[in-house]
Amino acid sequence: MHDIEPFFKWRDKYVASHDERSPFYQRQYNEFQYTKKVYNYFIHPQWDEFGSLTLYTKLLFVDYSEGYAILEMIGEWNDSLYNDIMFLKREVIDQLTNHDVHKFIIICENVLNFHGSDDCYYEEWYEDISDERGWICFLNTLDHVKDEMQDHRLQHYVNFGADFNDINWRPHKPKVIFKIIDKMINGGLQRQLTY
C-alpha cells in the first residue's frame, strides 16, 4: 500500500499545503519516513490525516470561483466504529464550504471498505450545500463499498453507483472532470469517461 501515491499530476495547478484557505495549509511531509497506516500497512506519506484512524485523503484541487473541490481517499471508511464522516465533515468539508465550495468530487477507488452508521452527517453536508445548488459525488466506488453505502441510504444525499464508476479521470484537467460530472448530475450528459 505504500506505493499508492495520491494523484500528483495537477500539482502545477494546485497544492493544498500552499493554499491559505485549505484545511491542509502549511502541512509538512516527510518523504523518507512512513508513519501512517491502514490495516497495519504503511501508506505513502503524501496522504493527509484529518482525524480518522483508518481513512486518509488528499485535496487534489479546489476552484473557489467555480465552487468545487476534488478529493482522493484511501483506506477503510468506518462510520460505525470511528465516525469517519464526522471527522471528514468537520475537519475538511466545513472549512471548504466556509469558502463557498459547494460541489464535491470524492474519488473512492482506494476506499477498501465502508462501514456505515446513521446518515446524519451526510444529510447535514447535503443540506449545507443544497441552497447553492451544490452536490456530492463519489467516483469509482468498489462494488461492495457501493452496496454498503446503498444499504445505509447515502444515495439520498450523495451521487454514486454505476453511472459514476469506471470513470477515467486521470488524463483530464480538473475543470473537464468537474464540468462532465456536473452535467451528469444535472441530467445533461451521459457517462463519457470510461476505461
pLDDT in tens, 20-29: 999 999 999 9
Q: How many CB atoms lie within 10 A of CB 35?
A: 9
- The SS3 of residue 129 is helix
User: What's the pLDDT score for residue 45?
Assistant: 94
User: What's the pLDDT score for residue 195?
Assistant: 38
User: What's the pLDDT score for residue 188?
Assistant: 61
Give the residue extent of every domain in the chain: 16-37+50-100+110-133+145-158
Sign of the alpha-carbon dihedral angle for 89, 11, 72, 178: positive
Mean pLDDT of 126-143: 96
Would you say residue 2 has pLDDT above 80? no
Sign of the alpha-carbon dihedral angle for 17, 91, 176, 163: positive
Instruction: List pLDDT tens digits, range 51-92.
Output: 999 999 999 999 999 999 999 999 999 999 999 999 999 999
pLDDT level of residue 190 (50, 70, 90 thresholds): low
Q: What is the pTM of this model?
A: 0.94
Are 46 and 7 in contact by the 8 Å Cβ rule? The answer is no
Quick one: which of 48, 40, 43, 38 has its CA closest to 15? Answer: 48
Q: How far is CA 111 from CA 72, 107, 141, in A?
A: 9, 9, 7
Quick one: which of 125, 121, 114, 122 has its CA closest to 149? Answer: 114
